[in-house]
Structure 1
Amino acid sequence: MSTKPILHRDDPDAEPLVGNVKVTRDDWLNVAMDVLISDGVEQVKVLNLAERMAVSRSSFYWYFKSRQELLDALLARWQATNTAALIAQAETPADTITAAVCNVHRCVVNSGLFDTALDFAVRDWARRSGKVRRMLDQSDAHRLEALQAMFMRYGYEEVEAVTRARVLYYMQIGYDLAQLNEPVKFRLKLLPYYLLVFTGVEARAEEIEEFSAYARRFWEGEAT
């Protein structure tokens, strides 16, 4: 879930801003990201963001030449977080394919690696913009290529690797979109069977235990 961003001026650990500056470039980006996720790209407007931060909209132009530059920065951040994180997790060394899939699934439970709400917001945005649609298609292709390469590292033939990569990737997108709100215990109970379906291989007990412990740290507070 996306949380309301803390402005630099409200962060007790942040260095004081110099002069009359009340917000930073990251503040504009963070609030814009929050609006994109909660209300859609149509509401990512300079005046709207300025009102949320209680600043003059003229300060926006200290950091961005135009609204379009802000939108481009949002897309760049999405690419640098979600897409880069999923690819990095797919490329993380692991002893077995089941452990490798668990590495990828860390993106599912850790929004610091992969922000699902942001991904859905960009997919919604892509329905209205050909440019964003092309970027999304390229991003999906890069993610799938990384997952395919992951399977091939463990000896899967190319066609099977492509198929398993697509099953793993698109199943997770649909799973998140369904918002099942499953109890943690039940979801983790299914983990060994999901891994078997994704890989055709039974996962080691220690792999299940390690991922389950990782997931619980991020799902803490959910009903068990």
Structure 2
Amino acid sequence: MSSDSSVAEIARRSGSSGNTKVTREDWMKLALETLVSEGVEAVRVLTLGQKLNVSRSSFYWYFKSRQDLLDQLLNHWRDNNTRFILTQAARPAASITQGVLNVFECWLDESLFDPLLDFAVRAWSRQSVKVHRIVKDEDDARVEAIRAMFSRHGYGDTEAFVRARVLYFTQIGYYSLEIVEPVSNRLSLTAAYLLTHTGKAPHDGEVEAFAEKIRQRNSRRAHIKR
């Protein structure tokens, strides 16, 4: 949802009276959307308040300061984008190819990993030493989770580390280059990606089950949007 549609939704809730209670979630949602669409410099209390048609006192009911809001945005990014990569990499898997497919779910499901938010935070990190350090720590944690996955499946220390870096940074580069292609194209190359990342061919049925899971998930989302 864009920031304009978020504001429209709040206006709808207010009805003809023009009165509505703007929640912490409203502030956070608009701040996140502004961060993604306009960058961190546009995330200002006065500007957000004007868009929400409320006074700054509403903001200070939920947040101590603009810095507190920015910290909460970083926490949201960490709790979503990093947490799900760690969770997916740690899922039990009968084979390394299934383990990698678990991680691949993050790249094909924006509820598990929001690439636009990740890109926005990386842009922010180029303006802030503190945020740059946080992004590096999160990248390290993500790579470590994937490395541990390879290690559990018998890869040596160096090979597990290198394969984890290649798998993770290839995907981040994919987002940074803003490559856009149909999901069907990506799914058709799944077996080749698995062989490249693991050195092993997928087991019978793994790719098919993965593709069906993604198709069903996308179908449910499309139905909800309608």
Tell me if TM exceeds 0.5.
yes
3-state DSSP of counterpart to 2:171: helix
Helix, strand or coil for the counterpart of 1:94? coil
CA distance in 1, matches of 2:203, 2:181: 24
RMSD: 2.0
**1:97 maps to what in 2?**
96
Paired amino acid for 2:55: S
Mapped contact 1:85–1:114 kept (Cα < 8 A): yes
User: For 1:162 and 1:38, how far apart are their aligned partners in 2?
Assistant: 34
Check conservation: 2:10, 2:52, Cα contact below 8 A: no
| Cα drift, residue 176 of structure 1 | 1.9
Instruction: Determine the C-alpha separation between the residues in 2 that align with 1:10 and 1:171.
Output: 42
The residue that corresponds to 2:112 in the other structure is 113
Q: Does 1:83 align with 2:82?
A: yes
Letter in 2 for 1:117: L
In 1: Cα distance, 2:75 partner to 2:183 partner? 33
Q: Displacement of 1:47 after TM fit?
A: 1.3
Matches of residues 46-85 of structure 1 in structure 2 within 5 Å? 46-85=45-84
**TM superposition shift of 1:218:** 4.9
Aligned residue identity for 2:43: V
Deviations, residues 144-195 of structure 1 (Å, cap 9, x unaligned): 1101000000000000000100000000011122233223332211110000
CA displacement at 1:50 relative to structure 2 = 1.1
State the 1:3 CA deviation. Answer: 4.7
1:178 aligned residue: 177
Displacement of 1:10 in angstroms is 6.9
Whole-Å separation in 2 of the counterparts to 1:155 and 1:11 = 56
Q: TM-score, normalised by structure 2?
A: 0.87
Give the Å deviation of 1:9: 5.2
- Aligned residue number for residue 31 of structure 1: 30
**Residues 185, 80 of structure 1: alpha-carbon distance in 2 compared, 3 angstrom cutoff:** closer
Give 1:212's aligned residue.
211
Structure 1 pair 58–139 and aligned structure 2 pair: CA distance change class (3 A): same
In structure 2, C-alpha distance between the alignment counterparts of 1:192 and 1:34, rounded to whole Å: 35
Q: Distance in 1 between matches of 2:206 and 2:147?
A: 21
Equivalent pair of 2:81/2:114 in contact (CA under 8 Å): yes
1:202 Cα deviation (Å)?
0.3
User: What per-residue deviation string (whole Å, max 9, x for no partner) do you get for residues 122-151 of structure 1?
Assistant: 100000000000101111111111010000
Q: What count of residue pairs does the alignment treat as equivalent?
A: 213
The aligned residue for residue 160 of structure 2 is 161
Range with bigger deviation, 39-48 or 206-215: 206-215
Contact (CA 8 Å) 1:82, 1:115: kept in 2 or not?
Answer: yes
Report the alpha carbon displacement of residue 57 of structure 1 after superposing the two structures with TM.
Answer: 2.1
**Residue aligned with 2:189, SS:** helix
User: What is the SS of the residue equivalent to 1:212?
Assistant: helix
For 2:166 and 2:154, locate their aligned partners in 1 and report how far apart those are by CA, in whole Å.
18
What code does the residue aligned with 2:181 have? E
Counterpart amino acid of residue 64 in structure 2: K
CA contact (8 A) 1:107 1:114 kept: yes
